[in-house]
Amino acid sequence: MDDIKRRVRKLKKIETKIRWGAEGKPGVSLVWDSFFDLRAMPAGKAKHTLAALSSMSREEFKSIVDEFFAYVYYEYYKENGITGAGASTGMLDPSILALLDLPFDSNERDVKKRFRELAKKYHPDKGGDAVKFIELMKAYEGLGR
């Protein structure tokens, strides 16, 4: 458990360095805070608790770290005005990819294919859920199409 805590805390320091250099920015939330909760009694806001992390295999943990860095770099790009056109940067919004149930490293072709599948499934004219269809459309628009 101590080894996992140390590794995860190191990720917090790395995120701070990537996004702002040596020092953090007061009042700006970290991606780390929404990903990890190392307290004995988690507050339930983070995606991964210490207990969950300790029961993962090395590959599962690596996958979470990869996803974490995708979110960190997306925030960095956004903060520095690099984002906007997903194709030019190669970065797509990880939260929208999650909504589409796609991995963080999906490309535009994967997004288009998944969008079409979900659009058929949720389209109100085909007996689907109108609320989910509207949510899907907004997410797709959010990717800059």
Q: Do 75 and 10 share a structural domain?
A: yes
Q: Which residue type sits at 72?
A: V
* H-helix or E-strand spanning residue 37: strand 36-37
User: In a 10 Å sphere around its CB, with 0-12 CB exposed, 13-18 middle and 19+ buried, how is residue 23 labelled?
Assistant: exposed
Cβ pair 54, 1 in contact under 8 A:
yes
Given 41, 58, 82, the domain boundary residue is 82
- Per-position pLDDT tens, the chain of length 145: 889 999 999 999 999 999 988 776 777 889 999 999 988 888 778 889 999 999 999 999 999 999 899 899 888 888 888 755 454 556 788 888 888 888 888 888 898 999 999 999 999 998 888 998 998 888 888 776 4
Q: Do 96 and 59 share a structural domain?
A: no
Q: Do 99 and 46 share a structural domain?
A: no
Q: Do 44 and 92 share a structural domain?
A: no
Which domain, by its residues, includes 116?
Answer: 87-145
Given 56, 82, 108, the domain boundary residue is 82
Global pTM value = 0.75
Given 40, 58, 82, the domain boundary residue is 82
Q: Do 77 and 94 share a structural domain?
A: no
Q: How far apart are CA 91 and CA 134, in angstroms?
A: 24
Cβ pair 111, 100 in contact under 8 A:
yes
In total, how many domains does the chain have? 2
